[in-house]
Amino acid sequence: MTTSVHGIHHVTCIAGDAQENLNFYVGVMGMRLVKKSVNQDAPDTYHFFYADAAGTPGTDLTFFPWPQMAPGRLGTGLTVEVALAVPAGSLPYWQARLNAHGVVCGEVELRFGESTLPFRDPHGLALALVETSDERPFVPWLQSPVPPEHQVRGMHAVRLWERRLEITEALLTGRMGFTLLGAEGGWQRYGVDGGGSGKLIDLRAMPGERPGTWGTGSVHHVAWRVRDTAEEMALAGTLAGAGLQPTSQIDRFWFKSVYFREPGGTLFELATDGPGFDRDEDKEHLGESLILPPWLEQHRRAIEAALPPLVMPRR
């Protein structure tokens, strides 16, 4: 049984106001809300899942809107940026679109040979759009305000600050199947399962930086793809053997999860590719209704009463 992950499954972040988050990721970024649910550990809070039209693993950026939280603080032991893949040649379109919506963008940079546009979402989350021609599973959303030829293809890479690189590098290369692809500007890039878009993590040693803290505009955790329970539990056993104390498997209904902290402190998850977001909704109507896992359904009335009302952005 392999003990390699197969790329990024999803990235989960902390947002502020739920409606503002929805307006930005559907109305501006053009991603599809494929699941409107709740944080299963704190069901008085939404959990939004934005992805391609089908909710393909690896296309998913998710949010817990906690507007009462203070802003997060960048630092070691946190993911400090999420890079999203867009087709080659799309950055001029995205610069114009983001500027038209009042989003302040940085200058286009060349990172590991890839044209990259850094910016922040309305609640301070550090994002980047990266042009790529890599083939990857993707289903265009035809109702998106963004034309299919420019739509976000999914997660491209994540960037972490570490106090020490060696112990996290040992986990990635010795236990999770990554290889070192190169170094540039103080960053080291690692790829898994052949590398390429959606299979990348960048690390930077920041020994003098203070630890980061969760808050609005910060990344909560990064989930890595495994095919099924057998792969997940084999890798969890490998992690336990390395002293990392992974959780038991948790049923999230649309996938199954195991959580652990990498040696530098960042929260990681292993997530299975299935069963998928169409397990309890028709593919044509993903994200239109509040969906609860079966064990929370008995509390629906109280949960709905605690959640703020939402209006879907118009195209």
Is the residue at 127 inside a domain? yes
Tens digit of each residue's pLDDT (9 = 90 or more) over 168-221: 999 999 999 999 999 999 999 999 999 999 999 999 999 999 999 999 999 999
Exposure b/e, 42-71, CB count within 10 A at least 16 = b: ebebbbbbbbbbbbbbbbbbbbbbbbebee
The DSSP letter of residue 298 is G
Does residue 3 lie in a domain region? Answer: no
Q: What is the pLDDT of residues 227-247, one digit of tens each?
A: 999 999 999 999 999 999 999
Query: What is the extent of the structural domain holding 216?
Result: 8-306
Task: Report residue 184 as tokens.
Answer: 């540039």
Three-state DSSP string of 55-102: CCCCCEEEEEECCCCCECECCECEEEEEEEEEECCCHHHHHHHHHHCC
In a domain, 312, yes or no: no
DSSP 247: P
Q: What would the pLDDT profile of 251-277 be if each residue is shown by its tens digit? A: 999 999 999 999 999 999 999 999 999
Q: What is the pTM of this model?
A: 0.97
Q: Is residue 292, in this structure, part of any structural domain at all? A: yes
Domain-located, residue 315: no
What whole-number distance in Å separates Cα of residue 171 and Cα of residue 219? 20
Q: Does residue 24 sit within a domain?
A: yes
Domain membership flag for residue 311:
no
Q: State CA 89 to chain mean position distance.
A: 23
CATH of the domain at 171: 3.10.180.10
Q: How many domains does the chain have?
A: 1
Contact (Cβ atoms closer than 8 angstroms) between residue 127 and residue 15: no
Supply the pLDDT for residue 258.
98
- The pLDDT assigned to 192 comes to 98
- Look at the block and give the residue holding tokens 């509390």: 299
Instruction: In whole angstroms, give the CA distance from residue 284 to residue 315.
Output: 17
pLDDT (0 to 100) of residue 2: 65
